[in-house]
């Protein structure tokens, strides 16, 4: 299958290894991977801040770039939700509405693509550590993506998944929210980290690098014995 992989801006800049792991996994499974050069962003920051006109300037480019795609895999639950759920709302009543609606069913978050579309759960990975899983809100509630990442983790050799009490509670990132209300965002992250630490896990795993950037930032500042890691990095070690 020809898979169009969209690597969002912050993964591109801060976590290129996550994107590279996805490319390797998809190629190992025998698929042809293409990564459009532009645009680098789905337009979510402007959309969430209320600037829908400015968001559309980026999102239109995205629609054009993905127009011919057979399937689109998105390296983030949040950006995935933007393309799949929010584009139809963003473009409602515009000439691009039909195109946005056509794109939606072709979009998959990475773990959902592996499990739901390809039916793959065992990638032969090994990761002998205790981990806990953080459900990114957009992946969980907009994309209903509770099961796929857990099915993938269950097949990783040596890995022990311990669910935390606050698995489904927001980590506090929330895009521009994290800078507009940093103290609330930080408090939410602290609640999350405390819940993860309670499990005794060494790693907090997620399908969203944005949540992980926020959590790792807190963990490093507060010197907690915990590491944030993206699911793809576990499934395909460098």
Partner 1 sequence: MNTPAVQFKQDASRLSADVRHRRIIQTAMGNYEKARDQRKADFQNWEGARQLAADTKWEAIAHLDRHIEQFVQNLEARGTKVHWASTAQQARDAVLAILRDKQAKVIVKSKAMTSEEIHLNEAIEQDGYEVVESDLGEFIVQLREEPPYHIVFPAMHLTRDEIKDVFQRKLHDAPSSDPEELTMVARRVLREKYLEADVGITGANFAIAETGMLSITENEGNARLTAALPRTMITLVGIEKVLPRLEDLALFLPMLSAMGTGQTLTCYNTLYGGPRQPGEPDGPEEYHVVLLDNQRTALLADPEQRDSLRCIRCGACLNVCPIFRNVGGHTYGTTYCGPIGAVITPNLRGLDEWKHLSYASSLCGACTETCPVKINLHHHLLQNRRNSTRYKPSWWQKLAFKAFAPIANKPGLWSLVTRLGRFGQKFHGLVRGGRLDPAYAWTKTRDLPPIARQSFREWWRTRA
Chain residues binding partner 1 by CB under 8 A are 7, 9, 11-17, 19-20, 23, 35, 37-41, 43, 45-52, 54-55, 57-58, 61, 89, 137-138, 141-142, 168-170, 172-175, 177-189, 191, 213-214, 216-218, 220-221
Closer residue to partner 1 in complex, CB, 48/116:
48
Smallest distance from partner 1 to CB 200, Å: 20
Least Cα distance to 76 among 152, 164, 157, 11 occurs for 11
Smallest distance from partner 1 to CB 209, Å: 10
Closer residue to partner 1 in complex, CB, 118/191:
191
- CA dist., res. 143 & res. 84, Å (int): 8
Smallest distance from partner 1 to CB 202, Å: 19
Smallest distance from partner 1 to CB 178, Å: 7
Beta-strand runs (E) in 43-170: 71-74, 107-109, 130-133, 160-161
Tell me how far apart the 2 most distant CA atoms of the chain are, in Å: 52
Closer residue to partner 1 in complex, CB, 58/234:
58
Beta-strand runs (E) in 120-199: 130-133, 160-161
Measured in whole angstroms, the distance separating CA 147 from the mean position of its chain's CA atoms is: 14
Least Cα distance to 135 among 169, 100, 106, 94 occurs for 169
- CA dist., res. 132 & res. 60, Å (int): 37
Closer residue to partner 1 in complex, CB, 12/151:
12
Closer residue to partner 1 in complex, CB, 142/233:
142
Smallest distance from partner 1 to CB 84, Å: 14
């Amino acid at each position: 299958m020809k898979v169009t992989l969209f690597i969002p801006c912050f993964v591109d800049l801060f976590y290129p290894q996550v994107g590279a792991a996805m490319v390797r996994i998809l190629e190992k499974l025998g698929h042809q991977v293409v990564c459009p050069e532009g645009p680098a962003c789905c337009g979510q920051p402007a959309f969430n801040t209320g600037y829908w006109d400015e968001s559309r300037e980026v999102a239109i480019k995205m629609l054009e770039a993905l127009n011919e795609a057979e399937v689109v895999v998105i390296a983030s639950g949040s950006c995935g939700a933007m393309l799949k759920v929010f584009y139809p709302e963003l473009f409602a009543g515009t000439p691009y509405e039909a195109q946005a609606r056509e794109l939606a069913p072709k979009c998959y978050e990475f773990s959902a693509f592996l499990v739901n579309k390809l039916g793959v759960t065992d990638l032969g990975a090994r990761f002998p550590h205790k981990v806990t899983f953080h459900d990114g809100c957009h992946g969980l509630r907009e994309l209903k993506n509770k099961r796929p990442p857990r099915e993938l983790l269950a097949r990783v050799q040596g890995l022990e998944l311990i669910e935390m009490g606050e698995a489904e509670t927001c980590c506090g990132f929330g895009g521009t929210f994290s800078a507009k209300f940093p103290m609330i965002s930080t408090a939410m992250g602290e609640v999350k980290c405390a819940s993860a630490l309670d499990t005794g896990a060494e790693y907090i795993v997620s399908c969203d690098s944005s949540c992980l950037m926020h959590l790792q930032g807190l963990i490093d500042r507060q010197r907690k014995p915990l590491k944030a890691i993206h699911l793809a990095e576990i499934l395909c070690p460098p």
